Homo-oligomer: A and B are copies of this chain.
């Protein structure tokens, strides 16, 4: 038994929204996440970089779980406006800021952290608080 087992990273973060199309369009077109799974129905997976995935669920659509040949995906559901953050490069802060404004996404807030990291905050169409953060936010990042 290995007591020192550690997970390698956050792999997936999930949103549960009414207007799935609008939310997918935001992450795809404004943040540039490629859609890698799903069809805009019950669940859609978007590539957030670094082998991590943003899941967009239709609210209530997964409240019963899903049985398939590979096993049973347990039920889940949720409500926002939640928070999620994505890593960006230290030298990409201004580029992201300009790109988001150019794409019509208002910057809700800018934060400078004690360790020197900086964060941009925007809202997705469902009202979730989306942060883009450079290194220097956490002791681990």
Contact = CB atoms under 8 A, between A and B. Distances in A.
A1 B102 CA distance: 9
Size category of the binding interface on chain A: 35 or more
B12 A95 contact: no
B49 A9 contact: yes
Copies of this chain in its oligomeric complex: 2
Contact of A99 (B3, B8, B132): B3
B129 A8 contact: no
A12 B50 CA distance: 13
A87 to B, nearest CB: 4
Contacts of A80: 76-78
Interface in A1-59: 1-14, 16, 31-33, 36-37, 45, 47-55, 57
A75 B9 contact: no
Interface of A: 1-14, 16, 31-33, 36-37, 45, 47-55, 57, 62, 70-89, 92, 95-96, 98-99, 102, 108-114, 119, 121, 123, 128-129, 131-133, 137-141
